[in-house]
Amino acid sequence: MSQATAQLTAPPQPLVALTEDEVLFRDNVRQFAEDSIRPKVREMDEKGVFERALIDQFFQLGLMGIEVPEQYGGAGGKFFEAILAVEEVSRIDPSAGVIVDVQNTLVNNALLRWTNDDQKKRYLPKMTADTVGAYALSEAGSGSDAFAMQTRAQQKGSEYVLNGRKLWITNGKEAGIFILFATIDPSAGYKGITAFIVEKNFPGFSVGKKEDKLGIRASSTCELILEDCRVPKENVLGEPGKGYKIAIETLNEGRIGIGAQMLGLARGAWESALKYSQERKQFGKSISDFQGIQFQLAQMATEIEAVRMMVYNAARMKDAGMNFVKEAAMVKLFASQVAERVASLSVEIYGGYGFTKDYPVEKYYRDAKIGKIYEGTSNMQLQTIAKMVLGGK
């Protein structure tokens, strides 16, 4: 067979295949997560506090500025690498995964796309050095209807004065910089929504109650309080009235990040269940020898692999400049379903032990539930998918 014929008949290289550099990056993150995060998972979950020393290590390893150009102190990497990092960290602790995810796919993403040169010089070096970011969109009365927000911004001279409250803000306790949305003109509807870069030390800004959650307990979820918070007008992100576009486009990428978090979670739960099934003996043999257990493990492995293909494909599409909105919604929807299902079955494989905190699967089960809720509920993902497959916008 000629070389030309061999090239024609060889199977195409999958879009989701990893390069050697990506494999090396993934393996390094995986080893770090095993060595540094795993020993602290249970204690952080029980205390509901994420250890600051670990976040410092995230910065030292370059995990908090993966796509940020090297000139600003970042790694100058691709979105795909950020997704690999979220997956590998979430395999050990989804609380850690969401910290890396929000930093890269939401906050840094928004700053990279919408800041002017001066804002880039002021903020990107901080995001890669030591400053955690948060994304402040949700409010008490605006969940899925995210733009029914009540937070107001009124321009007074060289400043905007912000008043209102934000809820469910991931990284709220640790963050030093917030991408925060408010309306400058309620009568304009979504066209009045404006994004601001708010620093934690701005007058009138404070972090309120930290939520006591079912899962991802080490990740802080906080209320933000703005009482005549003064924000310099040069801290408008993009331009006034463009907050809706910024939020929608940023969240599209963020949904792939949540898909990666749920992928990592499912892998972690499945690997624990597989190991336990080979160790646990009943009726004189390992429970993995029973066909019922084998079929459960096989089904879980198949669904996890399907999620991996979807997550990687959507990330590759983003890096290639393709339209990935539908794929991002599908990833968020399916990955959260699989993560919840795999974590639940993993608890069952452990039996009574799976219902205790002495083993890791009960935490994966608790952590999985949020995947169907934040960054767009499953119903909102279905709505987006339906519109796109039916030819809508």
Identify the sign of the CA torsion 100, 140, 332, 246.
negative
Q: 157 in helix, strand or coil?
A: coil
Question: Can you say whether residue 376 is alpha, beta or left, with left for phi > 0 and alpha for psi between -120 and 50 degrees?
Answer: left
Q: How far apart are CA 264 and CA 273, in angstroms?
A: 14
In the chain, the amino acid numbered 49 is V
Q: How far apart are CA 158 and CA 331, in angstroms?
A: 43
Residue for token pair 């102190």: 73
Question: Can you say whether residue 321 is alpha, beta or left, with left for phi > 0 and alpha for psi between -120 and 50 degrees?
Answer: left
Catalytic residues: 375
Q: How far apart are CA 380 and CA 393, in angstroms?
A: 14
Q: How far apart are CA 219 and CA 225, in angstroms?
A: 19
- Per the CB < 8 A criterion, the answer to whether 205 and 225 are in contact is yes
